[in-house]
Chain A
Amino acid sequence: LAKTTQPISMDSYEGQEVNITCSHNNIATNDYITWYQQFPSQGPRFIIQGYKTKVTNEVASLFIPADRKSSTLSLPRVSLSDTAVYYCLVGFMNTNAGKSTFGDGTTLTVKP
């Protein structure tokens, strides 16, 4: 079971880059790393997913070192609307749908 550890909370200011790191020391060979964003009273929203090195899309980048025991979600130039809870999820859903856990996430607060 791939357990993840994230900081409970982080504060930032508008326009700054935010990096949230997730530790997953027992990640398995087939496991992917997925990050979700969740606003209050809404379901989680997929942000980005990766297996190794670096992945970038229109909203974020995901950095994964060679040993894959951690990953860092990078949000460029955050705004107030990025205030949310961010979850790191590790697993290979095709065969282990119930084996991946969300953990308690990181509450990001963006201040003006």
Chain B
Amino acid sequence: DTGVSQDPRHKITKRGQNVTFRCDPISEHNRLYWYRQTLGQGPEFLTYFQNEAQLEKSRLLSDRFSAERPKGSFSTLEIQRTEQGDSAMYLCASSASGGISTDTQYFGPGTRLTVL
């Protein structure tokens, strides 16, 4: 399968713990996005990378959230001191930019986070 993969698929943690999620994009895609989705809502943009550079961050991304994309390949999203309000599906997407491309995003299956 050459699509976007995310690990783990499910994570249950206790409030106050740190969690880290991983995303492996489609290999030739230079852009990588993170979204958060809660039940009944559409995905909310968190941040995106072009290669290894983090170019944009949403106001939703508090200081407890950090994302990295070393070497412009896989990415990690870390949440420190988790709160119950962080419970959501965390989605990763990738795309290939360039020219007049409209940057169609391809999504992974998501990581479901439950904070107890």
Chain A positions near chain B (C-beta within 8 angstroms): 32, 34, 36, 41-46, 49, 87, 92-94, 97-98, 100-105
B108 surroundings in chain A (CB, below 8 A): 43
A87 surroundings in chain B (CB, below 8 A): 42-43
Check: B74 CB closer than 8 A to any chain A CB.
Answer: no
B55 surroundings in chain A (CB, below 8 A): 97
Number of A-B contacts (CB under 8 A): 68
Check: B93 CB closer than 8 A to any chain A CB.
Answer: yes
Check: B58 CB closer than 8 A to any chain A CB.
Answer: yes
A-B contact pairs, 18 of them (CB 8 A): A32-B102, A43-B91, A43-B92, A44-B43, A44-B91, A44-B93, A46-B104, A92-B102, A92-B103, A93-B97, A93-B105, A94-B97, A94-B100, A98-B45, A102-B43, A102-B44, A104-B40, A105-B42
B41, B42, B44, B105, most chain A CB atoms within 10 A: B42
Q: In the docked arrangement, what's the CA distance between A46 and B4, Å?
A: 13
Q: Is B33's CB under 8 angstroms from A101's CB?
A: no
Interface majority SS (helix, strand, loop, mixed), chain A: loop
A97 surroundings in chain B (CB, below 8 A): 31, 33, 45, 48, 55-56, 103
Q: Is B95's CB under 8 angstroms from A93's CB?
A: yes
Q: Is B101's CB under 8 angstroms from A41's CB?
A: no
Q: Which of B61-112 contact A (CB under 8 A)?
A: 89, 91-93, 95, 97, 100-110, 112
Q: In the docked arrangement, what's the CA distance between A81 and B93, Å?
A: 23
B112 surroundings in chain A (CB, below 8 A): 41
Distance (whole angstroms) from the CB of A59 to the closest CB of chain B: 14
Contact with A along B25-50 (1 / 0, CB 8 A): 00000010100000011111101100
